[in-house]
Chains A and B, each alone.
Chain A
């Protein structure tokens, strides 16, 4: 049977690996290419790169990072952050990424999902969703709202509706990030994850809040996630990926154990 995937997420700012809390206060913590290689050696099932470079003139640095990573790791990896056009997608794919994650751009122009799926196949297009918990209302019946621009702008879009819409438009996967949980290392938003995962037929990657292996076990079972994104717990070397996988295996959660 299919294994659950453990996916380190590397936030990259102007070519450097970085980490923040609730999308703020980022500090640089190393070289993304070396980190990707190390996680590959540790048994990561996939790698996610997220470009949080603020200035557009430094964005091409990311293409170079993607190219160097593609030469040294032989597992899938996806790239997101600042992808706005079909041409942006083409550039990162040509540099070696398997998947492209669209987030704010998809909210502003949903057709980018359909165009990307047509040009590169659905398996290539990941819908990245940044979500905040809000009061249940007529506009936001699920109580989870989509926010964009790094968590700064509320959109008035219901997260559950948007997940289904993204699937219809041709997204092959959803990366679901809880901004409330991001960087807190206090556990994933399990309720949100199960709500979305049970409502779509495409795989859902849970993101935001991982601090202990138990958190992954929760989101991969109760949360019904197909994959779990991790950042702080491996970037700060609290755990290795193989330690996390050993734990999950002991809990009878199947992950890839040989690499």
Chain B
């Protein structure tokens, strides 16, 4: 049973529909007892860091996620769920969960080759460069693209936590992997077949590299 953490984040139903299409059993819950009973945990998210953290603290889900990480259970962060597992976010100067050391930063103003200012949010399809192999990214074509929509990006301080990077004016971390945790900045649930493949791989993953 896969558990999707319910904390009023925007894309929960999209993640649920993708799991349904993959034929996986899942629950959507904020009840830590039910979360404890799940084999895998998905921590999705769309929205603002501040409001998300307020809700997670109120439900004590921030502390639960940290303890869950230490049990070795596979955890996947998506978008905002990835950003708020770092120590803090520049979005409204928010203190975050601190499962991964580092900061979530706002895209700097950058110009493209023709001198036009890059648009923020970074919205649309972009590629990723994997730094190493990982079971959750097995069987994917290296030229596949994924759907991004964000104005902030995760910057882990431990570079070994960076699983993949993406270029958008700067080269930023688009996937994190640490033991039983994978966290992606893009939306696998909205990235067509390659995205569904990542979700499928995660559901089959035992949490080791």
Interface residues of A (CB under 8 A from B): 1-5, 40, 45, 70-72, 74-76, 93-94, 96, 98, 120-124, 172-173, 198, 201-203, 224, 226-227, 256-259
**A1 and B167 contact, CB distance less than 8 A:** yes
**A173 and B143 contact, CB distance less than 8 A:** no
* 6 A-B pairs with C-beta separation under 8 A: A72-B21, A74-B18, A76-B149, A202-B121, A203-B121, A256-B145
A60 to chain B, nearest CB (A): 18
**A94 and B13 contact, CB distance less than 8 A:** yes
In the complex, A173→B194 CA distance in Å?
Answer: 25
* A4 CB contacts on chain B under 8 angstroms: 124
* Residue B160, interface by CB 8 Å: no
**B47 and A121 contact, CB distance less than 8 A:** yes
**B125 and A74 contact, CB distance less than 8 A:** no
* A121 CB contacts on chain B under 8 angstroms: 10, 46-48
Given contacts A1-B168, A96-B14, A121-B10, contact A71 B125 (CB under 8 A): no
* B47 CB contacts on chain A under 8 angstroms: 120-121
Given contacts A74-B193, A96-B13, A203-B121, 11 further A-B contacts (CB under 8 A): A74-B21, A76-B149, A76-B190, A121-B10, A122-B121, A172-B149, A173-B123, A201-B117, A201-B119, A201-B120, A257-B143
**A75 and B147 contact, CB distance less than 8 A:** yes
A43 to chain B, nearest CB (A): 8
* Residue B144, interface by CB 8 Å: yes
Contact partner of A258 among B120, B124, B141, B167, CB < 8 A?
Answer: B141
In the complex, A96→B21 CA distance in Å?
Answer: 14
Contact partner of B189 among A74, A198, A226, CB < 8 A?
Answer: A74
* Residue B126, interface by CB 8 Å: yes
In the complex, A130→B77 CA distance in Å?
Answer: 38
* B48 CB contacts on chain A under 8 angstroms: 121
Given contacts A224-B116, A258-B143, contact A70 B46 (CB under 8 A): no
In the complex, A212→B44 CA distance in Å?
Answer: 39
In the complex, A76→B148 CA distance in Å?
Answer: 10
* Residue B192, interface by CB 8 Å: yes
In the complex, A187→B41 CA distance in Å?
Answer: 48
* B119 CB contacts on chain A under 8 angstroms: 201-203, 226
Given contacts A40-B192, A98-B190, A258-B194, contact A227 B124 (CB under 8 A): yes
* B20 CB contacts on chain A under 8 angstroms: 71
Interface residues contributed by chain B, number (CB under 8 Å)? 40
Contact partner of B123 among A203, A256, A259, CB < 8 A?
Answer: A203
Describe A's contact surface by its main secondary structure.
Answer: loop
* B141 CB contacts on chain A under 8 angstroms: 258
A-B pairs with the 7 shortest C-beta distances? Answer: A256-B125, A3-B125, A256-B145, A123-B149, A259-B192, A121-B47, A203-B119
Given contacts A71-B17, A121-B10, contact A5 B143 (CB under 8 A): no
Contact partner of A76 among B147, B150, B196, CB < 8 A?
Answer: B147
**A93 and B116 contact, CB distance less than 8 A:** no
* B14 CB contacts on chain A under 8 angstroms: 70, 96, 98
B90 to chain A, nearest CB (A): 16
* Residue B191, interface by CB 8 Å: yes
Contact partner of A172 among B121, B144, B190, B193, CB < 8 A?
Answer: B121
* Residue B195, interface by CB 8 Å: yes
In the complex, A202→B149 CA distance in Å?
Answer: 12
Contact partner of A124 among B10, B143, B194, CB < 8 A?
Answer: B10
B124 to chain A, nearest CB (A): 5
* A201 CB contacts on chain B under 8 angstroms: 117, 119-120
* Residue B106, interface by CB 8 Å: no
* B206 CB contacts on chain A under 8 angstroms: none
**B168 and A2 contact, CB distance less than 8 A:** yes
Contact partner of B126 among A3, A120, A123, CB < 8 A?
Answer: A3
For B35-70 the 0/1 string (1 means CB < 8 A from A) is 000000000001110000000000000000000000
* B189 CB contacts on chain A under 8 angstroms: 74
* A74 CB contacts on chain B under 8 angstroms: 17-18, 21, 189-193, 195-196
In the complex, A226→B195 CA distance in Å?
Answer: 22
